[in-house]
Structures are given as C-alpha cells and as structure tokens.
Amino acid sequence: MRCYPVSTGSTTWRMTIQNVPNPWNSQRVKTDCSCNANEVTSHSSVNKAIQCDPPSLWRPMAKRPLFFACSLCALSLVSFITQPAQAAQTGLDLPQPNGCYAVGVKTLVLSDASRHRDLVVTFWYPATAGTLPFAPYMDKKTADAVAEEWKLQPGFERQVRTHSRTLAPVVQRGPFPIVFLEHGTGVVPSIYTILAEGLASSGFVVVATNHTPDSLISVFPDGHEVRFKPYWPTDADRRTQGEAIGKFAEDVLVRDVRFVLDKLGEIHCTMISGMASWICPTLAS
C-alpha cells in the first residue's frame, strides 16, 4: 500500500492505493482519499516572481502524484461541465500551475513530406508573465466532437479557463528539457492541459502531437478535420486486433514522434517565432 499527496485546486489530498496482485482478476483496486490538515497548501500562495532554474533531468520532480492529480482534475471537469446551469453561472478555472514560470502555448502544423502526413503539434512552454490573452481550452470543432462523444454540455469549452497565454514570449533562461505528451486513443491532446501547464510552469517544454486517425479529431488551420477511424479489424478476434494496434503504433505513432523530434532540430535553422532559442539548445545538450 502506498500513499501519495495529490494537489487539486487549493487543497492537497492524500490518496492511498491498495495494490492488487493480479490486475486481471475480479478484485477491485481499493482507494481511500482523505485530507490531511497539515498538508493543505494553496496554489495561489506560489510566488511566480521566484527565480527558477531549468529542471534537471536527474532530479525527481512530478512522479505518480502528478498523474493522479491529472486524473482527478479530469473527473472533476467532466462532472462540472455536465451541469449546464452551474457552468453557465460560474465557469471553471483549471487548477493553477504550481511552478514558478508563467505558461505560453503555440500550435503548429508540421508536414512530413516523405509520408505525405501533416501533424498538428501543440507546445506548452515556460513564458514571461504578461497580458496576452489566455488560450482557449480547445477550438469549437474539437469541443463539439468531444461533447458529442462524451455526452457533455454543448459549448462547454467556453466555460473552461486555462492558464496559458497564446504566443507569450519564451523565458530566456533555458535550455529547457523537452517532454513528449502522447494522447490516448479516441481523445485529443487538449484534455491534458492541466498536466501540460503544470509541467511547463516547472520548466519543461511540452510537445503534444495530435496523431490521426488515433485521436478523436484533428482540426487544421484551414478548417479541414480528420476524425477518429479504427485502424484495426473491428470484426476480428482480440489477438488479431492487438497485433494491428501494435503495428500501427510502430509504423505510425513512433515515426510521428521521431519526425517531430527531428523537426525540432531543424527549427534551429528555420526560426519559427523564436523557438530555436529555447528548444534547440536543449536538443544539442
């Protein structure tokens, strides 16, 4: 049994996980959540003016607690946006990132000519504080697809407020380590905004690729979209389906990540909105 502190909103909770020897048997994983008054902290108390050093890859930072926090926040979000009256009156601020950097966000389309494949890639990064507008939680087409799939309130994305500013200037204190944030099947990268903002505020550059057709939807700047499509034989047995999924991961998903990583190295020469100054030194180090 292990206990992990989990920060949600302004309170730190302690989650106890009861390990189950065989995850495939009929037993359930037992969880117990309690709040320890001695562990209560406030995200608003974090002083953003504190000077930060880029995180060391050898220093343990957010481990399992961060993933538990992301899961809890996602559940809270789904619960909230299914209540139309409450959402219309109050809206929802995502949890304040508890790192010492402000957060910027930028989305690019990277084209792999060798595979005739375009990828929408979103970057969250350590930024300088400013007054630029906060980025939307997700665009309308993506939100409509998510609402339809998850049976959520239409227009829920307008009630969700993020903490990352669109095209905010990058903090010139790098280089910063790069983290690839890979989405699950049938979802979109923006549902991981809480996790991405938390990592970026702690000094990481977060790179989230929207992998078609594995994602629920990918919307491109020109307005066209690519929807999720099963890449396994739906009428086959599970073994055959599993083999098809594994082949797709190797032939498409892994190659996507390698392409994006290589493309980040080329940014040093092409200079996309000043990215070279903070990404390329990381790749070279």
pTM of the model: 0.70
Q: Is 149 helix (H, G, I), strand (E, B) or coil?
A: helix
| Residues with Cβ within 8 Å of residue 94, at least 6 apart in sequence | 73, 77, 137, 160, 161, 162, 163, 193, 194, 197
First to last CA, the chain: 39
Domain boundaries, the chain: 94-284
pLDDT of residue 52: 72
pLDDT of residue 89: 52
Mean pLDDT rounded to a whole number for the chain: 74
Rounded Cα–Cα distance for residues 131 and 21 (Å): 51
Express each pLDDT in 104-159 by its tens digit: 999 999 999 999 999 999 999 999 998 999 999 999 999 999 999 999 999 999 99
Rounded Cα–Cα distance for residues 180 and 261 (Å): 9
**Measuring CA to CA, which residue among 234, 173, 248 is closest to residue 203?**
173
* Beta carbons of 154 and 140 less than 8 angstroms apart: no
The two three-digit tokens of residue 198, written as one number: 């938390």
Calculate mean pLDDT across residues 169-192. Answer: 92
pLDDT of residue 209: 98
Q: Is 239 helix (H, G, I), strand (E, B) or coil?
A: helix
Calculate mean pLDDT across residues 161-183. Answer: 92
Rounded Cα–Cα distance for residues 275 and 56 (Å): 20
Rounded Cα–Cα distance for residues 158 and 178 (Å): 30
Determine phi and psi for 73, rounding to 5 degrees. -65, -35
CATH superfamily to which 94-284 belongs: Alpha/Beta hydrolase fold, catalytic domain (3.40.50.1820)
Neighbours of 98 (CB within 10 A): 18
**pLDDT-based confidence at residue 56 (cuts at 50, 70, 90):** low
When mean pLDDT is compared across 36-45, 88-97, 205-214, 219-228, the lowest value belongs to 36-45
pLDDT at 250 over 60: yes
When mean pLDDT is compared across 10-24, 47-61, 109-123, 243-257, the lowest value belongs to 10-24
